[in-house]
Amino acid sequence: MPQKSAGLLIHRRIAGVFEFLLVHPGGPFWARKDEGAWSIPKGLIGDNEDELEAAKREAEEELGVAVDGDFRPLGSYKQPGGKIVIAWSVEADIDADAVRSNMFSMEWPPKSGRMKEFPEVDRAGWFSLPEAGLKILKGQRAMLDDFLERRGAD
């Protein structure tokens, strides 16, 4: 069974234009990657954990702030590696410059025997739809389309 993650597509409207909050993964692998490297805040769902609660928990861990609002189901998205991401949309205005992520440890440099800590998310940013479409991971692009399709029905 594929791994499942849960996440939030956080959005706001500025002068009638939607913007989306995306996070850039921390650590050396992602340091020089930009286009196609950003993600919604998300993470693995714990055993017996409610999917929406997992999405809210992961967003708080990656952003350093609790996200509250009207959570709307967006869908399930199979990622190129096989993982399934279950997403909700929520309107919230978060200060991207104030994001403080949790940390993870990994051996760095490789085969050095030294462990180094890195932030799970090294930065966050608000992006217009065209910018978000370029920045977001390929496997998550459909979330933007689905969000706009559902908002058109509101």
Instruction: Look up the pTM and report it.
Output: 0.92
* Span 73-111, pLDDT tens digits: 999 999 999 999 999 999 999 999 999 998 889 999 899
Q: How many CB atoms lie within 10 A of CB 123?
A: 15
pLDDT tens profile 1-50: 789 999 999 999 999 999 999 999 998 888 888 899 999 999 999 999 99
pLDDT confidence of residue 30: 85
The helix (run of H) or strand (run of E) holding residue 130 is: helix 129-135
pLDDT for 152:
65
User: What burial class does residue 59 get, using C-beta atoms within 10 Å of its C-beta: 0-12 exposed, 13-18 middle, 19+ buried?
Assistant: buried
CA nearest to 134, candidates 31, 17, 38: 38
Is the separation of the CB atoms in 67 and 94 below 8 Å? yes
